Chain A
Amino acid sequence: MTDDLPPELEAFVTGLRTTPSANAALRERVLASARGLGVPRRSRLPVPRSLLIGLAAVLAVLVLRRHPEGRDPARPVPFVLMAPKAVRVSIVGDFNDWDQAATPLQRAGEHTWWVVVNLPPGRYRYSFVLDGTHWVADPAAPRAADNDFGAESSVVTILGKGS
């Protein structure tokens, strides 16, 4: 291992590899102090175990709710709309809490707007919003059966891996 080292370095490395001998008196004093402290074998938390189990369950549920399709990951789904007169376009739906600010589309050329959204397998209702006021269902997707608020929505279905 140290064959290639110059002799002065070899002595240094050998020194580093040697376990230093402890001062016997010092070692005994340290051990005696540790025994005197009565160090517990196991630390105890000042909360009942049942509460910890409950908290763990809450955390597990939160994680599962956040990633309900953990076995089948999200996949990129493109959405495209021709809207030559729009200044800004966004997509709202069940996948982004119908939040107009959450998913803006990008312009591609003069007429086309697009965005790619990662969606886990499932079925989602959605709509495009042009300039914050004008609602447009996706002409390339089926219409949602419900139209409770006077502006049609579309649906997109993402199949799972095993489908």
Chain B
Amino acid sequence: MAVYVLTACSVTAALSAQSRLESRVPAPVLAAVGPTIDSARAAGLPTGPLEDKVLEGVTKQADAGRIAAAVRRLAGELAAAREAFGDRATTRELVAGAGGLRAGLTRGDLVRLRAARPGQNTALALEVATDLITQGVPSDTATRVVLKVLGAGASDADLEQLRMAVERDIAGGVPAAVAASVRARVLSGSPATTIPITPRPQN
């Protein structure tokens, strides 16, 4: 029975990927990305994110070479994330890890963030760290503050609250690194600190 299910999984994955891409993707693009997607599938990496990348590239009217390069890069990041997390990582964790690497997290950061939530899904922690970086928080600070709130037993809702609070603070003129550090301190139960507000320049 297990053999049937595994076979069914791989067959349906291949078929659905084929139909998803073939209906929308020009032949030259399919030819350019096919080997990468096939290799990823053979290596046991999730191919859905790679297909999403292809469809995004096609919709944004990128040429085949650029789409193929983006897909290869993402496949490499997914593979690196799996190296950091191990074979039991979920697709979302791998995608989150790949996004984190792209944003500036190191492989060591991925390992530490994963280890901070043993036995639990760490995707959101990685995603929040990535979002903090894209909002201007230095990557080492982002890792540190997420580890801090995880160490205090933060739930997914707490992590999301951290992300939103930092976003609000930054929009209000607080330097990104300061906002992240202060919000993490508050969420982790450390003594609150007044956030220094720097008025944003008016254009």
Give chain A's interface residues, CB within 8 Å of chain B. 50, 53-54, 57-58, 60-62, 65, 92, 94, 97-100, 122-123, 125, 129, 135, 142-146, 148-151, 153, 155, 157, 159-160, 163
Chain B min CB distance to A54 (Å):
5
Interchain CB contact under 8 A, B102 and A146: yes
Interchain CB contact under 8 A, A123 and B59: no
At the interface, yes or no: B176 with Cβ under 8 Å from chain A?
Answer: no
For B20, list chain A residues within 8 Å (CB): 97
At the interface, yes or no: B190 with Cβ under 8 Å from chain A?
Answer: no
For B157, list chain A residues within 8 Å (CB): 159, 163
Chain B min CB distance to A99 (Å):
7
Instruction: Give the complex CA separation of A61 and B11 in angstroms.
Output: 10
CB-CB under 8 A for A61 and B167, given A146-B102, A163-B160: no
CB-CB under 8 A for A54 and B130, given A125-B52, A148-B70: no
Give me 28 A-to-B residue pairs in the complex whose CB atoms sit less than 8 angstroms apart, sorted by A's number: A57-B7, A61-B8, A62-B16, A65-B12, A65-B16, A92-B56, A97-B24, A97-B55, A98-B56, A99-B59, A142-B167, A145-B99, A145-B100, A145-B130, A145-B133, A146-B99, A148-B56, A148-B57, A148-B62, A148-B73, A149-B56, A149-B62, A150-B62, A153-B56, A157-B160, A160-B156, A163-B155, A163-B156
Give chain B's interface residues, CB within 8 Å of chain A. 1, 4-5, 7-9, 11-13, 16, 20, 24, 52-53, 55-60, 62, 66-67, 69-70, 73-74, 92, 95-96, 99-100, 102-103, 123-124, 127, 130-131, 133-135, 155-157, 160, 163, 167
Interchain CB contact under 8 A, B60 and A155: no
Nearest A residue to B12 via CB reads A61
Interchain CB contact under 8 A, A123 and B92: yes
Interchain CB contact under 8 A, B4 and A142: no
Instruction: Give the complex CA separation of A145 and B4 in angstroms.
Output: 38
Q: Count of A-B contacts with CB under 8 A?
A: 106
Instruction: Give the complex CA separation of A115 and B171 in angstroms.
Output: 25
Chain A min CB distance to B4 (Å):
4
Chain A min CB distance to B33 (Å):
12
Chain A min CB distance to B55 (Å):
4
Chain B min CB distance to A10 (Å):
61
For B66, list chain A residues within 8 Å (CB): 148-149
Chain B min CB distance to A163 (Å):
4
Nearest A residue to B100 via CB reads A145
Choice from B5, B123, B160 contacting A57 with Cβ under 8 Å: B5
Chain A min CB distance to B179 (Å):
14
For B58, list chain A residues within 8 Å (CB): 98
Interchain CB contact under 8 A, B4 and A57: yes
Chain B min CB distance to A75 (Å):
14
CB-CB under 8 A for A100 and B12, given A57-B5, A123-B127, A157-B127: no
CB-CB under 8 A for A53 and B131, given A97-B24, A98-B55, A125-B52: no
Instruction: Give the complex CA separation of A155 and B155 in angstroms.
Output: 20
For A98, list chain B residues within 8 Å (CB): 52, 55-56, 58-60
Instruction: Give the complex CA separation of A157 and B5 in angstroms.
Output: 31
Interchain CB contact under 8 A, A149 and B52: no
